[in-house]
């Protein structure tokens, strides 16, 4: 039968010659290969002292952004929570009171905003859903912890540091 492609290759299995059966030359060439690796520079990155460089579109820990005047952008619309496939985001909305205009950009804001980092899959859909450009996954790797409850991050950990004025 005509082969479909010309890639077919007949493999002959020759009986091993004396030196191949003696096994020693093979051992010696193997030893020389490992010895070459002995003097190579290790590829280890000693995390956390050294960190691998992240790519530009790396998605790490979330941060809730402030606008140019230092006001929180989030209006607690809930689109991020709705878009979240892992249902990691919960929030409680509140109305902005008089005298709080310098804190929140719109009349409604998130009084409580929590992300469960154990549920989050870092897909970035919240970032895409947000109409106010309030949430970005531009942080570092979420650090390890001991208790499950400590992985529920509130506004204290998520909101950007206030601008220095």
Partner 1 sequence: MGGIDLLYKLALIVIIFLISLVVAMYSTYAERKIAAFFQDRIGPNRAGPWGILQPLCDGAKMFLKEEIIPTNASGFLFIAGPSLSILTACIGSAVIPWGQHLTIGSHVVDLQVADINVGVLYIFGVVSLGVYGVMIGGWASNNKYSLLGAIRAASQNISYEISMGLSIIALLMLTQTLSLREIAEQQYSWHWNILRQPLGFLIFIVCAFAETNRTPFDLPECETELVGGYHTEYSSMKLGFYLFAEYINMFVSSAVMVTLYWGGYNYPGMYWMLAHVGTTIAPIIGVVVMFAKVFLFIFFFMWVRWTIPRFRYDQLMDLGWKVLIPLAIANIVLTGVVSTVLRHFGI
Q: Kindly indicate which of the ranges 23-31, 60-68, 88-96, 111-119 contains the residues binding partner 1, using the contact rule CB under 8 A.
A: 23-31
Q: How far apart are the C-alpha atoms of 49 and 43, rounded to whole Å? A: 15
Please identify which residue in 13, 17, 44, 55 interacts with partner 1, judged by CB under 8 A: 44
Token pair of 118, please? 């154990």
Using rule CB under 8 A, residue 46 touches partner 1: yes
Using rule CB under 8 A, residue 4 touches partner 1: no
Using rule CB under 8 A, residue 98 touches partner 1: no
Using rule CB under 8 A, residue 52 touches partner 1: no
Q: How far apart are the C-alpha atoms of 78 and 92, rounded to whole Å? A: 9
Q: Kindly indicate which of the ranges 38-46, 63-71, 113-121, 138-146 contains the residues binding partner 1, using the contact rule CB under 8 A.
A: 38-46
How far from the centroid of its chain's Cα atoms is residue 98's Cα? 39
Token pair of 20, please? 């191949």
Using rule CB under 8 A, residue 144 touches partner 1: no
Q: How far apart are the C-alpha atoms of 157 and 116, rounded to whole Å? A: 12
Least Cα distance to 118 among 139, 149, 92, 91 occurs for 149
Binding site for partner 1 (CB under 8 A): 27, 30-31, 33-35, 37-38, 40-44, 46
């Amino acid at each position: 039968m005509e082969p479909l492609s010309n890639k077919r290759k007949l493999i002959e299995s020759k009986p091993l010659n004396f030196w191949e059966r003696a096994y020693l030359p093979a051992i010696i060439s193997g030893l020389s290969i490992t010895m070459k690796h002995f003097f190579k520079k290790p590829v280890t990155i000693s995390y956390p002292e050294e960190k691998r460089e992240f790519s530009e579109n790396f998605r790490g820990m979330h941060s809730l952004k402030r606008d140019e005047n230092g006001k929180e952008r989030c209006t607690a619309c809930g689109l991020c929570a709705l878009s979240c496939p892992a249902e990691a985001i919960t929030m409680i909305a509140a109305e902005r009171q008089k005298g709080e205009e310098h804190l929140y950009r719109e009349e409604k804001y998130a009084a409580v905003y929590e992300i469960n980092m154990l549920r989050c899959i870092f897909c970035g859909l919240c970032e895409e859903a947000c109409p106010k450009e309030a949430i970005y996954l531009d942080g570092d790797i979420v650090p390890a912890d001991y208790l499950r409850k400590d992985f529920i991050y509130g506004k204290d950990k998520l909101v950007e540091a206030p601008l220095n004025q």
